[in-house]
Amino acid sequence: MSNPQRRGEDIIIRSPKAHEGGAIWQIVRDTGTLDLNSSYLYLLLARDFADTCVVAERDGKLLGFASGYRRPAEPSVIFLWQIGIAPEAQGQGLGKRLLGGFLTRPGARDAQWLETTIAPDNKASQALFTGMAKALAVDYKTSPCFAAEDFPEPGHAAEVLYRIGPLTDSARQRLNP
């Protein structure tokens, strides 16, 4: 049985391995809130974008992941695409650790800006990203990114862009992944 009081030292934060896309797909499915893409897509991410993706592992089991990429049109930006923590591990600080680990991946280390989009009603995600800006002592700005009408499927929320930074050396020194 999982123990919610377990301390975090036994959690490993690392890049995904090529075969772990399937386990990442299962985490996304289990969150119940993230857009679930095909398992093939997560397998490709884990194989080809491992330098800008991160997973949290405990006792051989993946408990969380974050995926991202450098924006081709603005390479100083590391864009975080999806972040998800398994339901039984949410609300225990793992999202914070994973986001810190995301910013120290080989493909993110020299990025100047962190961007992501968040639905207006996702309070946990808003707290996670604004909390990271505060922890790094940097600013953040929000602006509209995608309107609800941009999504062809009914009921999809709008996505608000969060831009956090600049991620200077002194800001990065505050990271504690």
Residue labelled with tokens 């002592």: 137
Judge contact between 7 and 43, C-beta under 8 A: no
By beta carbon distance, the residue nearest ligand COA is 95
- How many residues at the interface with ligand COA, by CB under 6 A? 21
Shortest separation between residue 91's beta carbon and ligand COA, angstroms:
5
44/157 with CB nearer ligand COA: 157
Burial of 157 (0-12, 13-18, 19+ CB in 10 A): middle
- 3-state SS class at 165: strand
Shortest separation between residue 64's beta carbon and ligand COA, angstroms:
7
Binding span for ligand COA by CB under 6 A among 4-12, 102-110, 127-135, 144-152: 127-135
Binding span for ligand COA by CB under 6 A among 17-25, 52-60, 94-102, 169-177: 94-102
Among 6, 17, 38, 124, binds ligand COA (CB under 6 A): 124
Among 2, 17, 33, 38, binds ligand COA (CB under 6 A): 33
34/44 with CB nearer ligand COA: 34
Identify any residues that bridge with 61 across adjacent strands, giving them in sequence order: 58
> Binding to ligand COA by residue 95, rule CB under 6 A?
yes
CA-based nearest residue to 77, from 106, 108, 37, 51: 108
> Binding to ligand COA by residue 55, rule CB under 6 A?
no
3-state helix, strand, coil in the chain (%, to 5): 35, 30, 35
CA 16, CA 79: separation in Å to the nearest integer?
A: 17
CA 99, CA 83: separation in Å to the nearest integer?
A: 8
User: What is the identity of the amino acid at 85?
Assistant: I
> Binding to ligand COA by residue 125, rule CB under 6 A?
yes
Binding site for ligand COA (CB under 6 A): 31, 33-34, 83-85, 90-96, 118, 122-125, 127-128, 131
